[in-house]
Amino acid sequence: MEHKIVIELNDATVFQGHNLILSDVDIKIAKGEFWYLIGQTGSGKSSLLKTLYGEIALEKGAGKIADFDLSTLKPKDIPFLRRKLGIVFQDFQLLTDRSVYENLRFVLKATGWKSENDIKTRISEVLEQVGLATKDFKMPHELSGGEQQRVVIARALLNHPEIILADEPTGNLDPKVSDDIMSLLIQISKNGTAILMATHDYRIIQKFPGKILKCEAGVVHEADSVSHF
């Protein structure tokens, strides 16, 4: 049985302002697949991710993500698109003045959840999933870097996303903690959520093999293995 395609770009061109960043981009990612996005700093990895989550408009070519057409995406559609995506950044972006529970509750309230009972149940499910079931009362500064990143992943999972876009999610973490986060992300993809993860940590790619997209010289191509770096 073919898995549903959740990200597709055809002949897409990515601009940042007036600067051409990537051209002729063709990508197809199915439900539950795990892809790495690699390339040197400035090669267009972040611009490609921003195009996928609606921060940069797709002005040329065709693109769909989570059933949204990127070429006709209006600003008012972007919050709805982002409800179907989980986004994980390197720098956590947690609300530092609120507990873990309140960080997650804030996102659910902002995305239309009304029942406090449903909110409580969903928060407890995602914290269980990321191994933080007992940490809901903690403030972000009371958590280690790895634990904070787990909260970010829990936040990304709240609305049952079809896709998680992760931009250097292990960039600030030491190797042991990075491995724990990778194991968690791979488990999430096995449960059916597609993951596209930008990284420059080749140790991780060797340890946790996945499919690879490489940004290089203004284009994106599939690389067979780590030997293509």
- The residue-averaged pLDDT of 191-200 equals 94
Cβ(171)–Cβ(162) below 8 Å: no
> Which tokens belong to 207?
């340890």
Taking CA atoms, 21 is separated from 53, 69, 70, in Å, by 16, 21, 17
Q: What is the pLDDT of residue 117?
A: 97
Q: Characterize the bridge pairing of strands 60-65 and 5-16.
A: antiparallel
Cβ(218)–Cβ(47) below 8 Å: no
Q: What is the pLDDT of residues 38-66, one digit of tens each?
A: 998 888 999 999 999 999 999 899 999 99
* Mean pLDDT over each residue of the chain, to the nearest integer: 91
pTM of the predicted protein model: 0.92
Residue 103 has pLDDT above 60, yes or no: yes
Name the amino acid, one letter, at 70: L
Q: What is the pLDDT of residue 200?
A: 87
Q: What is the pLDDT of residues 204-223, one digit of tens each?
A: 999 998 999 999 999 998 88
Q: What is the pLDDT of residues 64-83, one digit of tens each?
A: 999 999 999 999 998 889 88
What are 195's strand-pairing partners?
34, 164
Q: What is the pLDDT of residue 228?
A: 45
Q: What is the pLDDT of residue 191?
A: 93
Distance separating alpha carbons of residues 32 and 34, to the nearest angstrom: 7
Reported confidence tier of residue 171, pLDDT bands at 50, 70, 90: confident
Q: What is the pLDDT of residue 225?
A: 61
Name the amino acid, one letter, at 221: H
Q: 7: helix, coil or strand? A: strand
Q: What is the pLDDT of residue 70?
A: 95
Q: Other CB atoms closer than 10 Å to residue 80's CB: what's the count?
A: 14
Q: What is the pLDDT of residue 59?
A: 87
- The residue-averaged pLDDT of 88-100 equals 87
> Which residue shows structure tokens 């280690």?
144
Closest C-alpha to 149, from 102, 185, 189, 199: 185
Q: What is the pLDDT of residue 2?
A: 64
Reported confidence tier of residue 229, pLDDT bands at 50, 70, 90: very low
Q: What is the pLDDT of residue 118?
A: 97
Q: Which residues have a Cβ under 8 Å from the Cβ of 175 and sit 6 or more positions away?
A: 203
Q: Characterize the bridge pairing of strands 163-167 and 19-30.
A: unpaired
Q: Characterize the bridge pairing of strands 219-223 and 211-216.
A: antiparallel
- The residue-averaged pLDDT of 28-39 equals 95
> Which tokens belong to 160?
């049952």
Cβ(59)–Cβ(51) below 8 Å: no
Q: What is the pLDDT of residue 1?
A: 54
- The residue-averaged pLDDT of 143-158 equals 94
Q: Other CB atoms closer than 10 Å to residue 201's CB: what's the count?
A: 19
